[in-house]
Amino acid sequence: GQVFRLEDYKPSDYLITHTDLLFRLDPTATLVTAKLSVKRRDGVAANAPVVLDGDGLVLESLSINGMPVSDDRYKATPDSLEISGLPQEASFELEIVTRISPVTNKALMGLYQSSGNYCTQCEAEGFRRITYFLDRPDNLSTFTVRIEAKKSEAPVLLSNGNPVEQGSLDSEWHYAVWHDPFPKPSYLFALVAGDLGSIHDTFTTSSGREVALGIYVEHGKEPLATYAMDALKRSMRWDEERFGCEYDLSVFNIVAVSDFNMGAMENKGLNVFNDKYVLADPETATDADYANIEAIIAHEYFHNWTGNRITCRDWFQLCLKEGLTVYRDHEFSADQRSRPVKRIAEVRNLRALQFPEDQGPLAHPVRPRRYKEINNFYTSTVYEKGSEVVRMIHTILGAEQFRAGMDLYFQRHDGQAVTIEDFIACFQEASGRALTHFALWYHQAGTPRVNVTSSYEADTGDFVLNVEQSVPPTPAESMKKPLHIPLAYGLLGPNGEDMEVGSVEGATVADGVIHLTEGSQTVRFRGIGSRPVLSLNRGFSSPIVLKQDLTKEDRLFLARHDSDLYNRWEAINALCVEALIAASTSGSYDFDPALVQCLVEMASNESLEPAYRALALSLPTEADIAREIGSNVNPDAVLAARSALRLAIGSAARDAFGRIYDAQADRQPFSPDAASAGKRSLRNILLDYLVAADGSPELASRQFEAADNMTDRAAALSVLAHQYPQHEATQKALSAFEERFCDNALVMDKWFIIQATIPGAATLDLVRGLTAHPAFSLTNPNRVRSLVGTFASGNQTGFHRADGAGYRFLADTVIALDKHNPQVAARLSTAFRSWRSMEAGRQEKARKALASINEVPNLSRDVKDIVERTLG
């Protein structure tokens, strides 16, 4: 397949400066008339042809300045339209008519139907499935969109920008016109038309303009959108206060659709959302759902400035908008909720999703240099590592200079399509500090390893660190350079408090941050009164794998005393990881009572917020442990070790945990706020321990039946199913849940997820059976992800079944799905990425399954690309 390379970037010969679209909507034959104001760039020869992108298009007609173009002057294929013999004038109008079929579009890119409503998804390259266009992010065009539809079919007609007019065409048809004055790339185009309910509100911006806010949902679901509306208003305010970003149109609309390839999309003034990230009430949504809704509403809204007003020059720059916007939504959630709790969740997520990517066959730099299919680069590396890189800039520059850099970026590049270099230059100029070395984080793939050994020289009072950094080779990049790694740190004195640090040699150390820049460095802290305990990479200031020579006692000390709450969690987590690796590789389960004791202390420590205590008690997942083991993994041994540790902790702490469990019970009516959610999370993690210790599902059954909200109900069901899959109590609860929620697809997703993650080899048959359940559908991405995706990525012992049947099942599903939805199929197939870390027998079976996908004729570019890279 074709490879796109960063170094081949070339501006187009022509620009489309204004785009006038007319949609005559019909399920199988929508007519799209595009009137494009085309401008030849200065210096381009007048005889240069216009070459437009298409994807599966049929050209109905073509004219220039109102005159039909003769056959010999253009060449139209489904994938491109090339026109030559153009007017001598630098500007002319091109009119293109295409006909498309939304109802048969199951790839969910371009214009398609979801539950009978029309909607679009254009990022990255979906606009070319609607009309021929310069479908590249550096073509910025204003848009006027006229939608014509049957009143009965689509009473609601929405597009980007501000509403201009609407009216009736005849008794059957009506129309609406929208105009977006902000030049934007085609990937931000959106159209929604259908029979939708809505809720409305207003927001007054900092300069006093009133914005009409709307959220459109299926009829009857309006009350479920109120939390999203609240999150939207809080996001709008926060972006003004934190970044000085004010909203710029007179309306802002969000639409929730049930068939969507990803989470949501930031189309200018018209965000389209997976309904999972809009709809919530206590009866059907968990606390995690509320937190996700808040974060994603914010993320898409924040794109208005980071992504839309300032966009990417080309798709290699994707992290310019995504990494930055993730950073912004992380900060928003940290401000709205608990900063340390949020940070720990971010790191767990980074390690679970980005680290395996960076350490496996799909590794790529935050800013990739080549791709075959851009949709395969909406990755955790671009998003989450991209966000970590922005966070490091903040750490290096400090809050004030960081903000100055952002201000300069907004001021200098508003209305432009730019690059990572442009972005970095703003921080350099605003701060006067060089980020040349730092910028390597964008260009070099792989997770850096930092090894630290320390010694305390009692005679001089010097505390000396030997620090080595290295980056393991990644595909197509074997030679790695040292990075600029900012390590926030503290030295804990014997009383557990941070010591004063005087002079330091061997590295730049400022404001509590050690700046590593070389492969090997010795950092000497002069005159430290007594042997300190080092707290390094506080707040996870750099996204690295850190190996330290801390003793168990040091770690327990940090877990009890570190003033940095992130590192306090990291200390207990590291102890658990260590214990679990030892147990799963040796098969002997005698855990250190001091570890158990420390966990019980943290669980009971009233000075820590409940959500934090819950995180301290959340054992590393099986996947976490497997990743730390790294090679020759036997998932059954990992599961056994983890279950043994849970049992050991639960048994040792049975009474204490029971008391806390009872004390956290909420007698108030449900509220989704962070503090209430935190109590529930503590209670629900304790439930897992208590049920393990009891050797009976009784307590979980009781909670399941008494629950007045989905968080507690789903948590109880999950404990039942995972610990007692065969028990009558579990079967009863699963049936009750199914009966109660069978008409609610989003809740049935939870029912699928809980069953797909039941540990053990038997789950494969269960999952296979559930693919025939009436609530399941291979054309709906949420269903596929919940049942098959969760099984493959969240069930170590099921997916990696020793006989390879889990791999076979995934391969078959990928092949079937690829026929209609390549994007979701490709995403699903990434579950194979860690196959080389398994023990030999499993590796061979995974390789065979991958090879079998690779052999299928007419595989999509999306799946082909992932499978080929995964096979390596």
Which residues are marked as active site?
A: 300
Centre a 10 Å sphere on the Cβ of residue 582 and count the other Cβ atoms it contains: 16
Residue ranges of E strands in 620-732? none
CA distance 480 to 482: 7
Smallest distance from ligand B3K to CB 261, Å: 6
Question: Nearer Cβ to ligand B3K, position 154 or 215?
Answer: 215
Question: Nearer Cβ to Zn ion, position 325 or 860?
Answer: 325
Residues 291-330, interacting with Zn ion (CB under 5 A) = 322, 325
Stretch that binds ligand B3K, among 43-51, 242-250, 298-306, 507-515 (CB under 6 A): 298-306
Smallest distance from Zn ion to CB 699, Å: 41
Question: Nearer Cβ to Zn ion, position 325 or 454?
Answer: 325
Question: DSSP for 486-525?
Answer: EEEEEEE-TTSSBPP---EESSEEETTEEEE-SSEEEEEE
378 binds, among Zn ion, ligand B3K, none (CB under 5 to 8 A by kind): ligand B3K
Question: Nearer Cβ to ligand B3K, position 353 or 699?
Answer: 353
Smallest distance from ligand B3K to CB 292, Å: 13
CA distance 843 to 833: 11
CA distances from 586 to 552, 646, 648, 745 (A): 19, 17, 17, 44
Smallest distance from Zn ion to CB 323, Å: 9
Question: Nearer Cβ to ligand B3K, position 11 or 263?
Answer: 263
Smallest distance from ligand B3K to CB 818, Å: 16
CA distance 229 to 214: 8
351 binds, among ligand B3K, Zn ion, none (CB under 5 to 8 A by kind): none
| Binder of ligand B3K out of 23, 315, 316, 378 (CB under 6 A) | 378
Closest CA to 64 of 96, 40, 39, 32: 96
Stretch that binds ligand B3K, among 127-135, 144-152, 201-209, 296-304 (CB under 6 A): 296-304
Question: Nearer Cβ to ligand B3K, position 232 or 265?
Answer: 265
Residues 668-707, interacting with Zn ion (CB under 5 A) = none
Question: Nearer Cβ to Zn ion, position 322 or 862?
Answer: 322
Contact 822, 107 (CB under 8 A): yes
Smallest distance from ligand B3K to CB 38, Å: 27
CA distance 160 to 122: 13
| Binder of ligand B3K out of 266, 329, 570, 636 (CB under 6 A) | 266
Q: Residue 197: beta bridge partners?
A: 217
| Binder of ligand B3K out of 98, 139, 258, 375 (CB under 6 A) | 375
Smallest distance from Zn ion to CB 125, Å: 16
Residues 806-825, interacting with Zn ion (CB under 5 A) = none
The upper half-sphere exposure of residue 816, i.e. CA atoms within 13 Å in the direction of its Cβ, equals 12
CA distances from 574 to 164, 616, 854 (A): 58, 11, 39
| Binder of ligand B3K out of 265, 734, 748, 817 (CB under 6 A) | 265
CA distance 679 to 661: 9
Closest CA to 481 of 503, 508, 448: 448
Per the structure block, which two tokens stand in for 98?
């295409």
CA distance 385 to 391: 10
Three-state SS annotation for 188-254: HCCEEEECCEEEEEEEECCCCCEEEEEEEECCCCHHHHHHHHHHHHHHHHHHHHHHCCCCCCCEEEE
Question: Nearer Cβ to Zn ion, position 264 or 488?
Answer: 264
Question: Nearer Cβ to ligand B3K, position 300 or 749?
Answer: 300
* 400 Cβ contact list (under 8 Å, min separation 6): none
Question: Nearer Cβ to Zn ion, position 264 or 811?
Answer: 264
Residues 553-612, interacting with Zn ion (CB under 5 A) = none
**5 phi and psi angles, rounded to 5 deg:** -120, 140
CA distance 420 to 321: 9
Smallest distance from ligand B3K to CB 687, Å: 34
Per the structure block, which two tokens stand in for 307?
């992504």
Stretch that binds ligand B3K, among 164-172, 240-248, 299-307, 335-343 (CB under 6 A): 299-307
CA distance 470 to 334: 31
Stretch that binds ligand B3K, among 48-56, 258-266, 644-652, 722-730 (CB under 6 A): 258-266
Residues 308-367, interacting with ligand B3K (CB under 6 A) = 322
**Residue 518 burial by CB count (10 A; 0-12/13-18/19+): exposed, middle or buried?**
middle
Site string for ligand B3K, 124-143 (x = CB under 6 A): x-------------------
The footprint of Zn ion on this chain (CB under 5 A) covers a number of residues equal to 2
Question: Nearer Cβ to ligand B3K, position 303 or 833?
Answer: 303
316 binds, among ligand B3K, Zn ion, none (CB under 5 to 8 A by kind): none
Stretch that binds ligand B3K, among 146-154, 257-265, 418-426, 862-870 (CB under 6 A): 257-265
Contact 93, 38 (CB under 8 A): yes
Smallest distance from Zn ion to CB 303, Å: 6
* 428 Cβ contact list (under 8 Å, min separation 6): 434, 435
The footprint of ligand B3K on this chain (CB under 6 A) covers a number of residues equal to 12
Residue 108 interacting with ligand B3K (CB under 6 A): no
Residue 343's H or E segment, with its range, is: helix 339-349
Smallest distance from Zn ion to CB 329, Å: 8
Contact 378, 867 (CB under 8 A): no
Residue 287 interacting with ligand B3K (CB under 6 A): no
Smallest distance from ligand B3K to CB 199, Å: 22
CA distance 615 to 620: 10
Smallest distance from ligand B3K to CB 120, Å: 12
Q: Residue 215: beta bridge partners?
A: 199, 254
Closest CA to 651 of 697, 612, 596, 698: 596
265 binds, among ligand B3K, Zn ion, none (CB under 5 to 8 A by kind): ligand B3K
**Residue 552 burial by CB count (10 A; 0-12/13-18/19+): exposed, middle or buried?**
middle
CA distance 607 to 600: 14
262 binds, among Zn ion, ligand B3K, none (CB under 5 to 8 A by kind): ligand B3K
Phi-psi region of 74 (alpha: psi -120 to 50; beta: other; left: phi over 0): beta
Residue 300 interacting with ligand B3K (CB under 6 A): yes
375 binds, among ligand B3K, Zn ion, none (CB under 5 to 8 A by kind): ligand B3K
Cis peptide before 124 (omega within 30 of 0): yes
Question: Nearer Cβ to Zn ion, position 62 or 350?
Answer: 350
Per the structure block, which two tokens stand in for 598?
């420390």
687 binds, among ligand B3K, Zn ion, none (CB under 5 to 8 A by kind): none
Site for Zn ion, rule CB under 5 A: 322, 325
Site for ligand B3K, rule CB under 6 A: 123-124, 262, 264-266, 299-300, 303, 322, 375, 378
